[in-house]
Structure 1
């Protein structure tokens, strides 16, 4: 409905090139990851209640105010994070507009629309988080929704490069696609376990709220570590299998990137655990989680390739162009 209303207006502007579409969608993906990182900074600095009300910062004021018991630097950090939300929304709207103006396929339009809609959901979740005093059970979903939006933004960015009038195939055999589905499920569990580890630690939310105490930090950390090992093992198995079946080189390269990013993230996690969870490393770990999500999403997106770019053996058994449209 909205697309039909916008189309006559958008036709007055020149159609964006594929390069422009990729730049816009890259920015949209970057901002989705960036706001997750700044949200982590808010949490580790204890600035989550720097603006104690929502949607205004203070009662009767949309911006920070002086002369209150809330430190000015806490106000600045939390208000800066809220301002970034507007940048995220603008980037998401820009992605919708370029996809609509370029007349791209339905799949891409769905991904594009998911970004601004998801960002609105995030804003509401952020408000709930503030109004409940930064309870850990509101902070954790807030982060996980960000990872979902990063994943969708990467699907959009990668998909933009594929022509709309060329058949698309799954460029790996079905068993390998299944292996990737399992790996993605383990990644989701890994991210969830990571939020629970944080919920049980000193950076669960506000310093004035209860932590997750139902399970001990060592037990949660063990589960998180076990899931990490499982994910790396699945990635290594995927790498060997991709080489055996002669998968597209870009898919193999992207999988190597995921392995590298995951191992770097593991190092950060281990160091922060044994150094008392310092704030800077927690923020870096959040950035790493976003990087792992984005890199893994790129692997998923690259399993689908234009027909002429895929091997004939794989293509003949994995056609899915009809479903994509």
Structure 2
């Protein structure tokens, strides 16, 4: 299949973006995958705060007799529509993931590193969908619900790495910041992940379980919330330390901007977190908090990838015109 590069038609350009990809188009698909995976994470929280977790009480069918919503005496039509709508979004996420995979496979010259990263998307999305079935079949067990969120976080990381690696070469890592600064950045990403795990524990201990039949962790909500806040202070402290280190070492501007963006998102997330606590955890603020946690994770990943770069492989460096003529 060959499409004219001069064809301005929107559909043709869309097909070419993954069938005859460029670096720009594959990065565009990877970034789109970050967005849709983050989006379904937030809509999943919407399912929980609207008590629609068992709106479709079976899986893979919505009801025992139908794959699509039908009247059910024990389920609200609204809850069923919310849960089924979130299930449908999985197909959008999968479609974007497949487009990323196609773009990586058809990229020329062939880059094995991108293909490996791209494979994680369709595989991960299918695994996530199967895990979603386990969430329903275990009646929203807090462990399975929490893992559902963390798997999404892993998928977001894979998508971001594809985005970052597509903009680099496959040569050795180039040190654009001091070794200790990079270590601090890696420690920061690890701390943010621990913060996400702590947030999952708080979420699955407090209200908004997704359904009145769902179980909760048998923990003291105030204790786990304080632990979550303490970890957040560590994350903010590490971010401030990284900002300072990048400034005094005169690190490249993209790295400083990434760290500053992370610091700003963390502060906004802290405001949302404390506000929802003092207002008895209203549903809307829970949604904003989940959105904020997802943005903190993406911003932390951006910081990590901004602290290093890769050039082209030595064998991939283009020859001069004279050398190229000699080879011919």
Q: Do both proteins adopt the same fold according to a TM-score greater than 0.5, normalized to the shorter chain?
A: yes
Contact 1:48 1:134 in 2 (8 A): yes
Unmatched tracts of structure 2, length 5 or more: 1-14, 315-328
- Equivalent residue number for residue 130 of structure 1: 136
Shift of 1:105: 2.3
Q: Which has the larger displacement, 299-308 or 138-147? A: 299-308
CA distance in 2, matches of 1:147, 1:238: 23
Shift of 1:230: 0.3
Partner of 2:153: helix, strand, or coil? Answer: helix
Contact 2:188 2:300 in 1 (8 A): no
- Equivalent residue number for residue 123 of structure 2: 117
How many equivalent residue pairs? 298
CA distance in 2, matches of 1:134, 1:14: 40
- Equivalent residue number for residue 172 of structure 1: 177
- Equivalent residue number for residue 34 of structure 1: 39
Show the 5 A alignment for 1:69-80.
69-80=74-85
- Equivalent residue number for residue 318 of structure 1: none
Contact 1:139 1:205 in 2 (8 A): no
Alpha-carbon displacement from aligned partner over 1:203-237 (angstroms, at most 9, x marks no partner): 13422122112x21111011101100000100111
Contact 1:169 1:305 in 2 (8 A): yes
Residue 287 (structure 2) pairs with residue 295 (structure 1): no
Partner of 1:169: helix, strand, or coil? Answer: strand
Show the 5 A alignment for 1:76-155.
76-103=81-108, 104-155=110-161
1:278 to 248, 261, 282: 282
- Equivalent residue number for residue 311 of structure 1: none
- Equivalent residue number for residue 63 of structure 1: 68
Contact 1:135 1:206 in 2 (8 A): no
CA distance in 2, matches of 1:19, 1:307: 17
Q: TM-score, normalised by structure 1?
A: 0.87
Partner of 2:174: helix, strand, or coil? Answer: strand
CA distance in 1, matches of 2:307, 2:180: 13
Residue 246 (structure 2) pairs with residue 252 (structure 1): no
Unmatched tracts of structure 1, length 5 or more: 1-9, 309-320
Shift of 1:157: 1.1
Q: TM-score, normalised by structure 2?
A: 0.86
Contact 2:19 2:102 in 1 (8 A): no
Partner of 1:259: helix, strand, or coil? Answer: helix
RMSD: 2.0
Q: Which runs of 4+ in 1 moved over 2 A?
A: 103-107
Distance 1:63-1:143 versus aligned 2 partners, 3 A rule: same
Which of these two proteins has the greater Rg computed from alpha carbons? 2
- Equivalent residue number for residue 229 of structure 2: 225
Shift of 1:179: 1.2
Shift of 1:243: 1.7
CA distance in 1, matches of 2:282, 2:223: 20
1:18 to 18, 23, 26: 23
Partner of 1:200: helix, strand, or coil? Answer: coil
Shift of 1:59: 1.3
- Equivalent residue number for residue 55 of structure 2: 50
Contact 1:136 1:205 in 2 (8 A): no
